[in-house]
Amino acid sequence: PRCPCPQRALHGYCLSQALRFAVEEINNSSTLLPNVTLGYEIYDTCSEPTNFHATLCALARKGRHDVQVLPSFQHYEPQAVAVIGPDSTRLALTTLPGPAHPPFPWLPLQISYEASTELLSLKRLYPSFLRTIPSDRKQVKAIFQLLQHFGWTWVVLLGSDNTYGSAGLDALQELLTASNVCVAYRGTIPASLDASNPQLHNLVRIITEVKVNVTVVFSSRESVLPFFEVVVQKNITGMVWVASEDWLLAQTIWQVPGIQTIGSVLGMAVEKPESTVLERFEAWKVSEEGAVAECAGRESVGNARLNCTQCCTGCRALATVPDMYDAQSSFNVYSAVYAVAHGLHDLLGCDSGACSKGTVYPWQVRAPSSVCSEACEPGEMRTAELLPCPRCVRCPTSFTDPFDCQACGLGEWAPEKSEICFNRTIEFLSWSEPLSWVLLSLAVLLMLLIAALTILFALNASTPVVKSAGGKACFLMLGSLACTCSSLFCYLGEPSQVACLLRVPLFAISFTVFLSCVATRSFQILCIFKLNARCPALYEAWMRRQGPVLFVAASTAAQVALCVVTEAVSPSVPHREYGVRDEWVVLECARTVSSLETHSSSHKVPVLTSVLNNPIQGCWERVNHGLSGASVGRDLSCIPTPQSCSNTLSPFPLYSPRRQRGSSLIISGVRNFQ
């Protein structure tokens, strides 16, 4: 059938000419693949069905028209050893086996010149895929840095309705989300070639209503053409458009009438190709014009069957109207053909001047080895230095590609020399841990002891022994001590909001009550043995105005106030700590730094009450020493005389002195002494 050459097919024709030019140049070379002639077949890939047909033709067994199923494909010899193309991400994914299929070593080497999606860089999924165009990840980073450089923090994102647009916007939005750039709107440009499409008009209307000045358009050139026709029709001016490389230099876009009024256009473009190659290519095309004219003459006399790769009557414009986009893509095709040629040159051992005639299988053909430094190991990245050569350095807890360490997610980690991130293990002091069992056993044992003492004191509450030990205050001390032990349960298990709020106040308040009672009793010893003898009026005022009760109540109230203020200013909340170990996520209760000072002050009351015990600690020991059988007159400053003992009973008595049988005193029911 006749091969039509409409305007949109001129780009593909230019690429096919670049392939022909590269093959003819290699076949005419005496140094690259000597005595070897490269052949080629060119297929139209304007749609997925035609692309799939071309793929099956390339996979068909040599000399046949079907793909044979063999027990082993190691020696399978398909029609082609390499495939150049196709020209888009969508068609490249059609050609290659998907992620659900295992990699096939018998597939021909595929080198694309325009498929730029980052997905195709995954070698474990697409081992036979290479390309001569940078991946989209590079230009996504460049667009992100451009927005950061100009301080544009309120943008619109538009992408074409294909893998190229959606994957590019996903990667860009991921970077923007982690920065201070806000996305006002994200839209998809419909796959339509008609500017009258109502979806296009609705998309443009939304952009005008959002009222942003910067719009990122990550789209293929086919989709963006009708979009800008609508933008011109709606008279949208003065905006900044950030373009992806696919349409930035496309001449069809800049030939839209009125396109110069839409505003400023910034974008990413692939590095300019070598001028010497383009000059040889242009000279070769000029030499082909004679064949084109001859082809046109044959067509005029009725020759209906034409070879479109050789003759195209509407393609003379390629030589007269240069397009930088066509030039860049042509150079990519040229580079892809030469990559295959160098691979075959090394495989066939052509350095000696003559190539071997052995059979070539697809899995043997790979990119030529001409590198400054060897490939980095998994878990390493290549440094940016160019001289003398880039070096490979180890990535800390991350996975890697050949040029950049990519950090794992917050809840992930990776060991050294790993390309895969693993989920971190969540760690906390669970109830089943051996340490938890030890702590629980001690706490339960202590609480049982407290319960036993409480029952024993309750049964003997009216005896002199219990009264001398503290009376009713003993129950308050035992209860507060039990609450202190129970605070341990807030430290076990996965931290919760309630446990984090209770663990410190429960311990601090209950321990304050306990230490306040101990401090009061200790102070009474000091009063009875010293203060009462020197200032009896002060001691009587202390006992008459319920001094011990007021002291315990004031200490507890102060502690409660400090805990309430601390929790109100900066409450203790469950927190995930990632810095303990790379493979752990430690669940704990944490506060902000500003609250630590307030939190530390909540322990001042227990500290102060415990300090009150120190002045009378030695006196208390000396009393115990006297009760153990020492001479009564050994330390008269600590042993009370009958005249210095008061019959006034306080709520917190150290002991309850009473007269028995003359001048004898009973202290704690331990020993009588005269």
| pLDDT tens digits for range 385-414 | 655 677 777 776 545 454 567 777 888 888
pLDDT in tens, 217-254: 999 888 999 999 999 999 999 999 999 998 998 888 98
Residues 6+ apart with CB under 8 A from 433: none
Mean pLDDT of the 527-534 span: 67
- Give me the pLDDT at residue 289, please: 66
**Per DSSP, what are the bridge partners of residue 573?**
590
129 sits in which H/E element: strand 129-131
The better pLDDT of the pair 241, 294 is held by 241
Kindly state whether residue 372 falls inside one of the protein's structural domains: no
Q: What is the span of the domain harbouring residue 418?
A: 380-423
Across-strand partners of 382? 392
Residues 18 and 58 in one domain: yes
User: What's the pLDDT at 144?
Assistant: 94
**Of 107 and 463, the one with more pLDDT:** 463
Grouping H, G, I as helix, E, B as strand and the rest as coil, residue 63 is: coil
Identify whether residues 46 and 164 lie together within a single domain. no
- Rounded to the nearest integer, the mean pLDDT of the chain is 75
The predicted model gives 475-501 an average pLDDT of: 88
Q: Can you tell me whether residue 80 is helix, strand or coil? A: coil
Using a cut of 0.85, tell me whether the model's pTM lies above it. no
Same domain membership, residue 326 and residue 399:
no
Token readout for 233 is 């029709």
pLDDT at residue 293 greater than cutoff 60 = no
* 506 and 545, same domain (yes or no): yes
Same domain flag for 478 and 527: yes
Tell me the C-alpha to C-alpha distance, in Å, between residue 497 and each of 145, 447, 502, 579.
41, 26, 9, 22
Rounded Cα–Cα distance for residues 528 and 535 (Å):
10
Residues 143 and 126 in one domain: no
Domain identity same for 557 and 631:
yes
Do 591 and 475 share a domain, yes or no?
Answer: yes
Considering the domain architecture, whether residues 125 and 160 belong to the same structural domain is answered as no
Residues 311 and 263 in one domain: no
| Residue pair 158/241 in contact by the 8 Å Cβ criterion | no
Report whether 395 contacts 380 (CB < 8 A): yes
Instruction: Answer whether residue 79 is part of any domain.
Output: yes
What confidence category does residue 20 fall into, taking pLDDT thresholds of 50, 70 and 90?
very high
Task: Kindly state the percentage of the chain with pLDDT values over 70.
Answer: 73
Show Cβ contacts of residue 598 under 8 Å, excluding neighbours closer than 6 positions: 562, 565, 566, 569, 570
- What's the structural domain count of the chain? 4
Both tokens assigned to 149: 């450089």
Per-residue pLDDT for 166 more than 50? yes
What is the pLDDT at residue 192?
Answer: 81
CA 291, distance to chain mean position in Å, is: 58
Q: What is the C-alpha to C-alpha distance for residues 46 and 396, in angstroms, rounded to an integer?
A: 45
Mapping DSSP to helix (H, G, I), strand (E, B) and coil, where does residue 15 land? helix
Domain of 262, CATH number, reads 3.40.50.2300
Q: Does residue 447 share a domain with residue 390?
A: no
Residue at 484 is within a domain: yes
pLDDT (tens digit, 9 = 90+) per residue, 412-431? 888 776 777 888 888 888 88
For the cut 70, the answer to whether the pLDDT of residue 452 exceeds it is: yes
Residue-wise pLDDT for 32-89, tens only, equals 999 899 999 888 877 777 777 787 787 777 777 777 776 666 777 888 888 898 888 7
Q: Can you name the residues that pair with 186 across neighbouring β-strands?
A: 157
Q: How far apart are CA 230 and CA 226, in angstroms?
A: 6
Q: Note whether 224 and 247 are within 8 A (CB).
A: yes
Q: CA–CA separation, 674 vs 671, rounded Å? A: 10
Residue that has been written with the tokens 């020492």 in this structure: 630
Query: How far is the C-alpha of 322 from the C-alpha of 259, rounded, in Å?
Result: 19
- Strand pairing report for 239-243 and 263-267: parallel
Q: Give the per-residue pLDDT at 628.
A: 34
Q: With CA atoms as reference, report the closest residue to 278 among 8, 5, 17, 12.
A: 17
660 forms beta bridges with 664
- Whether 428 is covered by a domain: the verdict is no
Residue 301 lies in a domain: yes
Task: Please indicate, yes or no, if residue 370 is contained in any of the structural domains.
Answer: no
| Residue in 541, 540, 549, 552 with CA at minimum distance from that of residue 511 | 552
Asked if residue 556 belongs to a domain, the reply is yes
Burial classification of residue 11, based on how many CB atoms lie within 10 Å of its CB (0-12 exposed, 13-18 middle, 19 or more buried):
buried
Cα 31 to Cα 345, 352, 354: the distances in Å are 10, 10, 9
